[in-house]
Chains A and B, each alone.
Chain A
Amino acid sequence: MSNSDHIIVVKNLHKHFGTIKAVDGVSIDIERGKVVVVIGPSGSGKSTLLRCINHLEEPTSGEIWIDGEKLTHATKQINEIRAEIGMVFQLFNLFPHLTAMENVTLAQRVVRHRSQAEAEQIAIEKLQRVGIPEKADSYPANLSGGQQQRVAIARALAMNPKIMLFDEPTSALDPEMIKEVLDVMMDLAQEGMTMVCVSHEMGFVRSAADEVIFMDFGKIVEHTTPDGLFNNPQHDRTKLFLSQILEH
């Protein structure tokens, strides 16, 4: 069914928590290699939407297709699809009992069944790519927030994912560390990685995003380009939101 250009297809997605409709009928098609940034006020359902894409939240109803394959409730299929979708969390979620190197090699060995040597080689490669190969033997507790988040990105990249999801990756960082994480994300975007990011970094939106989705109350209010968002927002709600976050 799905057009092979569309690596993520979401059809009429609903996710309810009790009576709260976190995601309320969202449909999007994301093309391979595109960078899509989801913005919106807190509680607008952007994180929930992201977490439904790799089934960390089970949708109440609706369909999700990843690279032509429909997500079901079968655990095995979901595990396989998750291995193809890297996710970066707001609070990094590194494994504190493992070194940076072990964080990056664990899933490679357990899920991809790579040998220790191969996994380590890939890990060094990815740690170099995010700019901290020298921290390979450090434990997360001895890394700064920015460094932890970069290890988390390396951990996701080591699985060779087709898609990367970023859930407010810079929200928990000190201002001077935001840039080092955004730089890594920009590089990834330039290399053609398909990315879906929940983020309010407008600099990133301007320079890296292909599309911007503005959500409010679980619905997509506006789906546009960065240019369209900044220069020609269609809805009053979008204008109000932009004026609030661009004021400073």
Chain B
Amino acid sequence: MAEQFQTVDPIITADALSSKRRLRDLPWWLFALFLIAIYVFFAISANEDYNAAFVFIKTGLIITIKTTLISYSIAIIFGLLAGLGRISKNVVINNIARLYVELIRGIPILVLIFFIALVGVPVLVNWLNDFGFWLSDNGVGFFGKLFTAVTNQDISMITRAIIALAVTYGAYLAEIFRAGIQSIVKGQMEAARSLGMSYGQSMRYVILPQAIRNVLPALGNDFVAMVKDSSLVSVLAVRDITQVARLYAGSTFRFREAYIVLAVMYLTMTVMLSLLVQLLERRLKTHE
């Protein structure tokens, strides 16, 4: 037995081992996803039923992308403000930020979308309108018009959906920003303040650039999550790809084609974005 082991060339063994390890480390899951996508793409180009479904559903793609991008951009601003509020020493600001974050995170996104779009926005607009009429009645018609110019009928469902997603994601991003800011060591703020910089200046020039760099991967992951959650706006009859797919399936009874195409469209977007985030993460690490 011992002799048998000795006949094995150690270099070959090492090579075999490492190639085995290389095989094991390959991203097989990605290949599998890729195969599924290829299969569906093939079906779309070769099969009439799949093709018809795709042609119909892709009309919602612009809405999905637009909703995601605009909501996310606004959510970044809400998140940054609320994140700064969460670490503020001012009791009022701190509590308002905390209330916003806890309130939103304690309610399912679907419920929030219904609530904000169908209750929050109309009530707020009514208040503003009433305030405008009150101003007009009291002789300041010019300012009154500013508040009565926009009525609930003018605010489309897609705008409400974007507001709802932005408000919701703002609360989640706030916690990312807060954690990012708190991950910067205390000495950085002290050094900046010791040079005479104000709190705001220190935040802007010293803390936030470092904090945001640290949280970029987390922000990227939430962007991917937002792509998926944008499908929830379909409950407001906004014609994103999910809504369009539902309409298509409902009218043609081709459920399988509709939802397979829909799922692969989301997958294509999310997997590509996730890979980009991973790439970014790796680049940030090597540049540290």
Known A-B contacts: A87-B194, A93-B187, A106-B195. Give 4 more (CB < 8 A).
Answer: A79-B196, A84-B196, A86-B195, A111-B197
B: residues with CB less than 8 A from A are 187-188, 190-199, 201, 205-206, 209-210, 213, 288
Which residues of A line the B interface, CB within 8 A?
Answer: 54, 56, 75, 79-80, 82-87, 89, 91, 93-97, 106-107, 110-111, 141, 152, 155-156, 159
Interface residue from A56, A94, A152, A155 paired with B193 (Cβ < 8 Å):
A56
Kindly report which residue of chain A lies nearest to residue B209, judged by CB atoms. Answer: A97
Q: How far is the CA of A91 from the CA of B201 in the complex (A)?
A: 22
Which of A91, A141, A155 contacts B288, CB < 8 Å? A141
Looking at the complex, which one of B187, B193, B209, B288 makes contact with A82 (CB distance below 8 Å)? B193
Could you tell me the distance between the alpha carbons of A84 and B288 in the complex, rounded to whole angstroms? 33
Give the CA-CA distance A136 to B144 in the complex, in Å: 58
The 8 Å CB contact of B196, one of A89, A97, A159, is A159
- Measured in the bound complex, the distance between the Cα atoms of B206 and A106 in whole Å is 9
Contact B195 A83 (CB under 8 A): yes
Could you tell me the distance in whole angstroms from the C-beta of A76 to the nearest C-beta in chain B? 8
Is B206's CB under 8 angstroms from A95's CB? yes
Q: Is the CB of B210 within 8 A of A107?
A: no
> What is the bound-complex CA distance between A56 and B213, given in angstroms?
27
Interchain Cβ contacts under 8 Å between A and B, 24 examples: A56-B190, A79-B193, A79-B197, A82-B193, A83-B196, A84-B196, A89-B190, A93-B188, A93-B190, A94-B191, A95-B188, A95-B191, A97-B210, A97-B213, A106-B195, A106-B206, A107-B196, A107-B197, A110-B197, A110-B201, A110-B205, A111-B196, A111-B201, A156-B195
A91 touches B197 (CB 8 A): no
Whether A106 touches B194, Cβ cut-off 8 Å, given contacts A93-B187, A96-B210, A97-B213, is: no
Task: Pick the most buried of B188, B194, B288: most chain A CB atoms within 10 A of its CB.
Answer: B194
Q: Which of A56, A75, A91 contacts B198 (CB 8 A)?
A: A75
A107's nearest neighbour on chain B, judged by CB, is B195
Q: Which residue of B lies closest to A155 (CB)?
A: B195
Complex formed: what's the CA distance from A91 to B190 in Å? 11
Give chain B residues whose Cβ lies under 8 Å from the Cβ of A93: 187-188, 190-191
Report the minimal beta-carbon distance from B51 to chain A, rounded to whole angstroms.
51
Q: Is the CB of B190 within 8 A of A79?
A: no
Residues of A within 8 A of B199 (CB): 75
* Residues of chain A within 8 A of B192, CB atoms compared: 95, 107
A168-B196 Cα distance, complex, nearest whole Å: 21
- Bound-complex Cα distance A111 to B192 (A): 11
Query: What distance in Å separates the Cβ of A72 from its nearest Cβ neighbour in chain B?
Result: 16
**Known A91-B187, A110-B201, A141-B288: A80·B196 in contact at CB below 8 Å:** yes
| Nearest residue, chain B, Cβ from A156 | B195
Nearest-CB residue, chain B, relative to A158 = B195
Contacts of B205 in A (CB 8 A): 106, 110
> Once bound together, how far apart are the Cα atoms of A13 and B255, in whole Å?
78
- Chain A residues, CB < 8 A from B213: 97
Q: How far is the CA of A96 from the CA of B191 in the complex (A)?
A: 12
Cβ–Cβ < 8 Å partners of B197 in chain A? 79, 106-107, 110-111
Cα–Cα, bound, A96→B205 (Å): 12
How long is the Cα–Cα vector from A80 to B198 in the complex, in angstroms?
Answer: 9
Quick check: B195 and A89 within 8 Å, CB to CB?
Answer: no
A97-B213, A106-B205, A110-B201 in contact; A54/B194 too (CB < 8 A)? Answer: yes
Q: How far is the CA of A152 from the CA of B195 in the complex (A)?
A: 11
Complexed CA–CA distance, A82 and B194 (Å): 6
3 smallest A-B Cβ distances: which pairs? A83-B196, A93-B191, A107-B195
Residues of the B chain whose Cβ atoms lie less than 8 Å from the Cβ of A94: 191
Closest beta carbon of chain B to A97's beta carbon, Å:
5
